[in-house]
Amino acid sequence: MKTMIIVLMVLFVLLVCVSMTSFANADRYGSLGMIFKGEPFVCIFEPHPTYTTQSSEIVLAAENAVQLWEDALYTYAPNGNWDLNTVVIPIEWHHTSSPYEFPMCDILISFEHSDKSRTLGYTHMNFSKSWHKYAQSTIFLNDFRATQHYELNLDTGEHSYTNTTFKLKEFSLVAIQNIITHEFGHALGLGHYLITDYPIYTDDVPWIEASVMYYALDPAVEDLSAPTYVDVKMLEKLYYTDGFGGTPIIKVPKIGWYNAGDDDICTFKCVVFK
């Protein structure tokens, strides 16, 4: 009995090692499990003037981000319908409105001040109403920084907390466009792209070269990111090769992980596409 237990323990360890080894060189791509059955119409909501003095430039950054997705889709999946039509909703039309007042919008891009977290933006999907299923990407326009201040007691040499000051630092237009590009991928149904054997790149911005859906986006980087081949292949996994409104999607992909090193989705480990 003791021998059998030892054998089972050894087999367990070997299975764990094999599993870890086989997975070590496989990047992972997530799916949110929700997709649009037809061609999604994109609404860009003009930022409130109290949030920024660059409203028109930010709207243009949003239009450019959406265009980057369309360009990449037609480049790497030319047989599909990947049209992404956009419209800008003026601030006076939407400032006190809810998404349900814009039933033509399948994807909504809106802008806010930071919520005092380290979040750059977020996307949520609301498929609860049959007459209006939408995804809303909220983009933060600034970094909310908190600084704690201490006072030195010269007698004891100890520091004591006095107060905390807060400062808003507006993101660059490049950073804002990169955030929009990332969140728009979520709006289309993509999850995060994870590198399981990091570091694998020699430069400091692996998310730009690997995938715009890489989970760690650095707003300090001043290089524009664009959807890559692997991002398009993942969307083909969700919408099929004929794109939006093509082959009827009978079964919505489940939330889960797809192996990005297999025959379906090829990464840099397979063929490099320029």
Domains and CATH numbers, the chain: 28-141+172-259 (3.40.390.10)
Q: Is 116 left (phi over 0), alpha (psi -120 to 50) or beta?
A: left
144 touches 114 (CB < 8 A): yes
The pLDDT assigned to 61 comes to 97
For 162-176, 213-227, 228-242, which range has the lowest pLDDT when averaged over its residues?
162-176
Tokens 């049209």 sit on residue: 83
Interatomic CA distance for residues 30 and 231, integer angstroms: 11
pLDDT band at 146 (very low <50, low <70, confident <90, very high): low
The pLDDT assigned to 165 comes to 64
The better pLDDT of the pair 204, 238 is held by 238
Give the containing element (helix H, strand E) for 16: helix 2-24
* Beta strand ranges found along the chain (DSSP E): 28-31, 42-45, 86-89, 107-112, 121-129, 132-140, 142-152, 159-170, 190-194, 256-259
Interatomic CA distance for residues 218 and 118, integer angstroms: 11
Short-list 30, 32, 80, 31, CA closest to 247 = 80
Burial 241-266 (b: 16+ CB within 10 A, else e): eebbbbeeeeeebeeeebebbeeebb
User: CA 156 from chain center: how many Å?
Assistant: 50
pTM of the full predicted structure? 0.78
Q: How many residues are listed for the chain in this entry?
A: 274
pLDDT over threshold 90, residue 116: no
pLDDT band at 207 (very low <50, low <70, confident <90, very high): very low
237 touches 258 (CB < 8 A): yes
**Per DSSP, what are the bridge partners of residue 110?**
138
Q: What is the mean pLDDT of the chain?
A: 78
Q: Once rounded to an integer, what is the mean pLDDT over residues 191-202?
A: 62
Interatomic CA distance for residues 222 and 172, integer angstroms: 8
Interatomic CA distance for residues 32 and 192, integer angstroms: 9
The pLDDT assigned to 100 comes to 92
pLDDT band at 42 (very low <50, low <70, confident <90, very high): very high
Short-list 222, 136, 135, 225, CA closest to 182 = 225
Query: Which amino acid would we find at residue 257?
Result: W
The better pLDDT of the pair 151, 146 is held by 151
Number of alpha carbons in the 13 Å side-chain half-sphere of residue 211: 29
